[in-house]
């Protein structure tokens, strides 16, 4: 259907509002998406068939296959990225926590800002419907971000922007409005295999395919077993909450990547100062207090202790 001048103006204004909320990059895609989106959906099914989701059964939710199952009459979506790279670095003599978890829970941050955008959109078009989605919702979020031009899905499975790198969380605002789509992003990974070669557990079994059963991030966050598998424990290095190795080595994540000064994304100081002794002595109540409003609440206190017991500070390519 032909888009009107009003639709184009609304699309531009919505993206400007999103940027004012701190999102960058932003882009728009229209449903049902390009043929590449359908290929991404088929790739998800192959990934599931191979068992790469491990115990993450929610990844098989049928609604994940089509964005219009999340909002009746959906026609477009706004995709947004929130840069969580900040001007702080990990210390080699401390345990390591993935960057995405350093600040306030990104689910809440992104959701609140998307909901403000949704209310603004409804003020402009009172009859429109919308739904805010973060990665807890059954949506192919990375594929739709790629479709909206935010970046391409890299060989480590994260979305990479050509100048901002992959240090961003993603959100979407699905709407019934006929917005004007941006150009989908083109892949620029080329022959690079830095992320595949750097992964200490060979979790990236082939380009764009991550086997969760081998992934340090999966095991430190999602694995509810009392002990980590021996191959994971042997390769854990300093990581006790997630893992950034495949992003640390990506050429698009090097010195020129911008750092955010967003107050919601600044690190809690204790997360950069963790030692095995600290983790061992904190009570469950200590953890509950420190993890208020954090995405890392998913890691239970006994899991922090389990992970810290297996970690070793002198191993792994964490950075200064």
What is the pLDDT at residue 237? 97
Q: Which residues pair with 97 in a beta bridge?
A: 241
- Given a cut of 60, is residue 83 above it in pLDDT? yes
| E strand or H helix at 197 | helix 194-198
135 is catalytic: yes
pTM: 0.92
Q: How far is the C-alpha of 299 from the C-alpha of 222, rounded, in Å? A: 7
Give residue limits of the domains in the chain: 5-86+104-175, 194-310
What is the pLDDT at residue 136? 81
What is the pLDDT at residue 219? 98
For residue 276, CA distances in Å to 118, 256, 271, 310 come to: 44, 33, 12, 10
- Given a cut of 60, is residue 293 above it in pLDDT? yes
- % of the chain residues with pLDDT over 70: 93
Q: What is the mean pLDDT of the chain?
A: 92
Which member of 135, 234, 248, 262 is catalytic? 135
Q: How confident is the model at residue 59 (pLDDT cuts 50, 70, 90)?
A: low
Residue that wins the pLDDT comparison between 62 and 113: 113
What is the four-CA torsion angle of 239, 217, 29, 37, rounded to 10 degrees? 140
- Given a cut of 50, is residue 315 above it in pLDDT? no
Q: How far is the C-alpha of 269 from the C-alpha of 290, rounded, in Å? A: 11
Q: How confident is the model at residue 262 (pLDDT cuts 50, 70, 90)?
A: very high
**Secondary-structure breakdown of the chain: helix, strand, coil percentages, each rounded to the nearest 5:** 40, 15, 45
| Stretch 208-228: mean pLDDT | 96
- Given a cut of 90, is residue 255 above it in pLDDT? no
What is the pLDDT at residue 58? 54
Residue 249 contacts residue 194 (beta carbons within 8 Å): yes
What is the pLDDT at residue 60? 60
What is the pLDDT at residue 3? 65
């Amino acid at each position: 259907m032909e888009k009107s001048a009003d639709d184009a103006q609304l699309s531009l204004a919505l993206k400007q509002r999103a940027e004012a909320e701190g999102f960058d990059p932003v882009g728009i895609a229209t449903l049902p998406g390009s043929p590449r989106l359908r290929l991404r959906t088929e790739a998800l099914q192959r990934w599931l068939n191979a068992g790469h989701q491990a115990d993450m059964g929610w990844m098989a939710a049928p609604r994940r296959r089509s964005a219009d199952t999340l909002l009746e009459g959906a026609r477009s979506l706004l995709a947004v990225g929130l840069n969580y790279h900040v001007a702080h670095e990990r210390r080699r003599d401390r345990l390591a926590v993935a960057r995405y978890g350093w600040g306030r829970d990104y689910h809440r941050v992104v959701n609140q800002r998307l909901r403000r955008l949704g209310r603004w959109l409804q003020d402009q078009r009172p009859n429109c419907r919308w739904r805010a989605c973060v990665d807890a919702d059954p949506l192919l979020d990375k594929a739709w971000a790629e479709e909206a031009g935010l970046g391409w899905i890299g060989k480590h499975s994260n979305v990479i922007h050509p100048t901002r790198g992959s240090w961003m969380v993603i959100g979407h605002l699905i709407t019934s409005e006929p917005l004007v789509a941006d150009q989908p992003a083109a892949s620029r990974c080329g022959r690079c295999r830095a992320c595949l070669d750097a992964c200490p557990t060979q979790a990236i079994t082939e380009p764009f395919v991550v086997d969760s059963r081998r992934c340090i991030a999966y095991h430190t966050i999602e694995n509810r077993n009392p002990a980590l598998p021996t191959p994971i424990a042997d390769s854990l290095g300093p990581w006790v909450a997630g893992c950034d190795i495949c992003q640390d080595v990506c050429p698009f994540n090097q010195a020129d990547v911008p750092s955010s000064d967003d107050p919601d994304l600044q690190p809690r100081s204790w997360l950069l100062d963790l030692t095995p002794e600290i983790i061992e002595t904190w009570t469950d109540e200590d953890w509950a207090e420190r993890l208020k409003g954090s995405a890392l609440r998913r890691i239970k206190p006994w899991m922090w202790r389990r992970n810290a017991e297996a970690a070793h500070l002198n191993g792994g390519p964490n950075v200064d």
